[in-house]
Structure 1
Amino acid sequence: MKPRTTPSSKPNVLSISIVVYRPDSQQLNSTLAGLSAACHAVYAKRPGQPIALSLIDNGGLPEGLECLEELRASGVTCTVITGQGNVGYGRGHNLAIQRSTSRYHLILNPDIDLAPDSLQQALDFLEAQPEVGLLTPWIGDEFGSQQFLCRRYPTLLDLFIRGFLPCKLQRLFSRRLVRYEMRDVINEIDVVWDPPIVSGCFMLFRTSVLKQLAGFDARYFLYFEDYDLSLRAHDFTRVVYVPSVRVLHHGGGAARKGVAHIRMFISSAYKFFNRFGWKWL
């Protein structure tokens, strides 16, 4: 691995890791631009408390990302971790988590656009609620509609319906999906304590908790590593959904990404249920 970094002498209030593999340059620049604006808001309220970004290149990272240079210019310590090959999503993040000495660590997808006040709102909440070790935000799609990515423990049927059935057929199982996706309690207003599973596209941890968990389980190459980490987090800390923290998510499901992703999804689902228990219907 060959980290390329801009050094900082002060301890970081926040570290961020983003894993990329052949990313869409336009979307990645959009994510970095939103991150830059969110970091500026943090600096405005917490001057002198550095932020560090680790960009883990699992392959195909474009050269000369303008927004990465803008982040560096604004004072964010930026490290590109490269040379390890495509080690998977969780193991990629673990490379940054192992190095982190910050107070808080954000696991972030390269297809997330952050609201300008998102990081400031999130840090304010964590500092006011010391019992919380993992925060998940309100997540919208590119049209601004809410994505319900907090989950109750899944059954195999839930996963099949949500991941592989077309929308018209999903409506036949709407009551199941409402329960699985926690639509009965998740909304745009209310803080929800201890959702069982939260999305890996934005997971803001106290770094001390993340270290206790030893990061992601490296047995998952892609998919279900966030389910695994969420469930294990409840053994150490409280988890909270905070809708005042807002992001947009441009990701898609495994079935829409082709046969290779379906195979990885099934393989990871098998590992997940073997560890936590099989639930069929």
Structure 2
Amino acid sequence: MFKPDQETVLETIRSLRQALQFVSLKRVKVYLIDNTPVISSYDWLLEAMEGVSVEIINGQGNVGFGRANNIVADAVGKYHLILNPDVDMEREALANAIAFMEAHGDCGLLTPQAFNPDGTRQYLCKRYPTVLDLLLRGFAPRGVKQLFAARLDRYEMRDQIGDAVFWNPPIISGCFMFFRGDVFQKAGGFDPRYLLYFEDFDVSLRAAKLAQIAYVPKVRIIHAGGNASRKGWWHLRQFARSAWIFFSTHGLRFV
């Protein structure tokens, strides 16, 4: 996390703590990785996680989402959850994720069914993007988006993603990535070249070479993030920089 909103993070922690009560794993370790340069106190975090084994990692500065997650790459267990600080889980989300992994040994990465805070569905699975897809989705006015609605729906896999398990979506969101631990390690974690954005696209493609990826609708979350184009010029620059790294690595498609 980076300069976290305390109430948002507390909601995430409460949902995580509740979800942990339903899992059958004997040992669980939670790592809270903070990229904020200076934090005065973590008492509010530790109080919210009382009774759970927690390690707070800070002091590295704003090294980016991927590099921050890689700090604990050597310490992952049988399963490894990447969780954004703006995600609320249903209480049985983790239990359902573990049960699915236990039943499907070839699944190495799982993505949930997601909803916006207003209750509308959020689509975390994507087809391989083109430059046009990204420009339309991130920056086009509403009227232009409506003209290309069918194309954007296809990019978000709305024709495939629903209330049934779907195997091997090309790309999934980094807000909630439930890895089999050895798959995360064999993939090498996140590519440290990405400071922000597209690191989840990249690791999805690399993980798919090692194991199957599954969209599992019984694992349900609420995610409040997104909308890079509305966050200012710094975010826009990072988006463009990361898009260039991604396309130069995996192949550029314009339309």
Quote the offset at 1:166 in angstroms: 2.8
Q: Secondary structure at the match of 1:139?
A: strand
Structure 1, residues 203-256: CA drift from partner, whole Å, max 9, x if none?
A: 000000000011000000000000000011111000000001000000121101
| 2:182 paired residue among 208, 231, 236 | 208
Aligned partners of 1:232, 1:67: CA distance in 2, in Å? 33
Aligned partners of 2:46, 2:158: CA distance in 1, in Å? 36
The aligned counterpart of 2:146 is: 171
The aligned counterpart of 2:167 is: 193
Indicate how the Cα distance of structure 1 residues 252 and 121 shifts in structure 2: closer, same or farther if over 3 A, else same: same
| 2:46 paired residue among 55, 61, 68 | 68
The aligned counterpart of 2:14 is: 33
Q: CA contact under 8 A between 2:10 and 2:48: conserved in structure 1?
A: no
Instruction: Indicate yes or no: 2:64 matched with 1:88.
Output: yes
Aligned pairs for 1:49-60 within 5 A: 49-59=26-36, 60=38
The aligned counterpart of 2:94 is: 119
Q: Secondary structure at the match of 2:169?
A: coil
Aligned partners of 1:62, 1:115: CA distance in 2, in Å? 31
Number of residue-to-residue matches in the alignment: 254
Aligned pairs for 1:231-250 within 5 A: 231-250=205-224
TM-score by length of 1: 0.88
Q: Which has the higher contact order (CA 8 A, sep 6+)?
A: 2
Instruction: Indicate yes or no: 2:74 matched with 1:98.
Output: yes
TM-score by length of 2: 0.96
The aligned counterpart of 1:16 is: none
Quote the offset at 1:65 in angstroms: 4.6
Quote the offset at 1:67 in angstroms: 4.9
Quote the offset at 1:62 in angstroms: 6.2
Q: Secondary structure at the match of 1:278?
A: coil
Q: CA contact under 8 A between 1:38 and 1:114: conserved in structure 2?
A: yes
The aligned counterpart of 1:78 is: 54
Q: Secondary structure at the match of 1:41?
A: coil
Aligned partners of 2:39, 2:93: CA distance in 1, in Å? 26
Q: CA contact under 8 A between 1:25 and 1:62: conserved in structure 2?
A: no
1:66 maps to a residue whose letter is W
Aligned partners of 2:155, 2:239: CA distance in 1, in Å? 18
Aligned partners of 2:178, 2:129: CA distance in 1, in Å? 23
The aligned counterpart of 1:10 is: none
Structure 1, residues 169-228: CA drift from partner, whole Å, max 9, x if none?
A: 2111011111100000101x1100000000000000000000001100000000000000
Aligned partners of 2:40, 2:180: CA distance in 1, in Å? 31
Aligned partners of 2:86, 2:68: CA distance in 1, in Å? 16
Over aligned residues, Cα RMSD in angstroms? 1.2
Q: CA contact under 8 A between 1:33 and 1:67: conserved in structure 2?
A: no
Structure 1: gaps of 5 or more residues: 1-19
Q: Secondary structure at the match of 1:127?
A: helix
The aligned counterpart of 2:225 is: 251
2:35 maps to a residue whose letter is N
% identity of equivalent residues: 46
Q: CA contact under 8 A between 1:23 and 1:61: conserved in structure 2?
A: no
Q: CA contact under 8 A between 1:190 and 1:242: conserved in structure 2?
A: yes
1:213 maps to a residue whose letter is A
Aligned partners of 1:256, 1:53: CA distance in 2, in Å? 31
Aligned partners of 2:40, 2:147: CA distance in 1, in Å? 43
Q: CA contact under 8 A between 1:21 and 1:61: conserved in structure 2?
A: no
Quote the offset at 1:24 in angstroms: 0.7
